[in-house]
Structure 1
Amino acid sequence: MPKIIKDIEEKIFNGAFELFGEYGYKKVDMKMIAKKIGIAVGTLYNYYPNKEKLFIHVFEKSWGNTFCKLDDVLKKEIDLKKKMKEAIIVLHDEISARKGLGKALFKENIFEKDDLDKVLYTKKVLLDKVENLIKEIKKEEGLKLEDGMERRLAGTIFMIIIEMRNQYPNEKEKNIQYINSLIDCTYGK
């Protein structure tokens, strides 16, 4: 009789998330993941046909969780500037938790087109959420930003968060303060 492992899919996700974040896509293999979570490699292959599919699943699920957290902030009935500050905190925390999980996606040409499309769609949704908040702030509060530049500001916010996290990994509060100070400079009122 096969051994039944409770919450195996969650264990696979958590183990793979941790290993991909720590070692990157190339250095992790299915044996490492199976060993980390205490299952046979064959069992892991029963759930994911290869490392690429598992990585894409981890990537999508982790960003899906981020979308939920970000949506919770965006739904709040609070001042738009405060909403932006809370969104920055969520994004900083979520990017930090990934420990560079997504770097492989943009550095290596290793994914099939369908999987790469999923990743790019995830990035689009994330940028859309921040861009829409920026547009709302621009309309209500005023931003020193030309029309059509909202997407660029959304992308810039992500790049700044990533760079601050890389340069100053142990200075969360200062990183967030700096990012918010930059955004504050764009407000018209």
Structure 2
Amino acid sequence: MEDKKTKIYECAKELFSNKGFKDTNVSGITTMAGIAVGSFYNYYPSKEKLFMDIFLEENEKLKKSCMQSLDMSQSPLALIRQMMVLNLEGMIANPILKEWYNKSVFAKIEQLYREETNIQVNDFLYDSFHEIIKQWQADGKMRSDMDSKMIMMIFGAMINVETHKEEIGLEYFPQLLDNMLELIMKGLTDCP
């Protein structure tokens, strides 16, 4: 049974990568996997759940790769800037992760995933930074009067701003994001 689940997963990953979420359907996945459509539902409740499982795995790989590339001797601001650049480049380069920027698609996928898994918050945004934040707090480089999870949510909010760059204006967005990051980091690193 695990072989069939793995086959479904791998076929779906290939189809999502090549065709995108919208143009991939359960029938196409099962045809490629060589199983009946009904068998799909023995392993996954929906295409959305399968996509999110793949998305989260790809995101985890990206975050690990980013963490390995970071120069940890930098200031907190420089390190966060480097992480954001590496993350953005990685998301744009990966067709599955790039679906994050398709607001109409990703909002629906995430909502259904939350309903199916009964998870209210997805901690997949910069969660790999949590240990660094806690260390900075312990070292006095970052405010310790704020919960480290709240700081992680601030970074998550910055990522969400990124999905609205067309509304903000593409000509302003890169500088806006950098200014926001600088102001946020100043507030987080100026310890009271």
What TM-score, normalized to structure 1? Answer: 0.62
Name 1:4's counterpart in structure 2. none
Number of residue-to-residue matches in the alignment: 164
Counterpart among 155, 161, 164 of residue 163 in structure 1: 161
Q: How far apart are the structure 2 equivalents of 1:126 and 1:142?
A: 22
Q: Please give the residue correspondences for 1:88-99 in structure 2 after superposition, counting only pairs within 5 Å.
A: 88-94=84-90, 97-98=98-99, 99=101
Q: How far apart are the structure 1 equivalents of 2:35 and 2:86?
A: 34
Note closer, same or farther for the CA distance 1:183–1:132 as it changes in structure 2 (3 Å cut).
farther
- Shift of residue 19 of structure 1? 1.6
- Structure 1: segments with no counterpart, 5+ residues: 1-7, 35-39
Is the contact between residue 52 and residue 113 of structure 2 (CA under 8 Å) also seen in structure 1?
no
Name 2:20's counterpart in structure 1. 19
Q: Please give the residue correspondences for 1:1-189 in structure 2 after superposition, counting only pairs within 5 Å.
A: 12-17=12-17, 19-20=20-21, 23=22, 29-31=25-27, 34=28, 41-44=30-33, 46=35, 49-50=40-41, 51-52=47-48, 54-74=50-70, 76-81=71-76, 82-94=78-90, 97-98=98-99, 99-100=101-102, 102-108=106-112, 112-113=116-117, 123-124=122-123, 126=125, 128-140=127-139, 142-143=141-142, 145-168=143-166, 170=170, 173-186=174-187, 187-188=189-190
Please give the per-residue CA displacement for 1:127-177, whole angstroms capped at 9, x wherever unaligned. Answer: 54222222223333533x353422112112112222233234846632541
Is the contact between residue 131 and residue 150 of structure 1 (CA under 8 Å) also seen in structure 2?
yes
Q: How far apart are the structure 2 equivalents of 1:91 and 1:142?
A: 23
Q: How far apart are the structure 2 equivalents of 1:45 and 1:64?
A: 28
Note closer, same or farther for the CA distance 1:87–1:9 as it changes in structure 2 (3 Å cut).
same
CA RMSD, aligned part only? 3.9
Note closer, same or farther for the CA distance 1:148–1:55 as it changes in structure 2 (3 Å cut).
same
What TM-score, normalized to structure 2? Answer: 0.61
Q: How far apart are the structure 2 equivalents of 1:179 and 1:109?
A: 30
Is the contact between residue 126 and residue 155 of structure 2 (CA under 8 Å) also seen in structure 1?
no
Q: How far apart are the structure 1 equivalents of 2:86 and 2:180?
A: 13
- Shift of residue 84 of structure 1? 1.9
Name 1:37's counterpart in structure 2. none
Deviates most, 157-166 or 43-52: 43-52
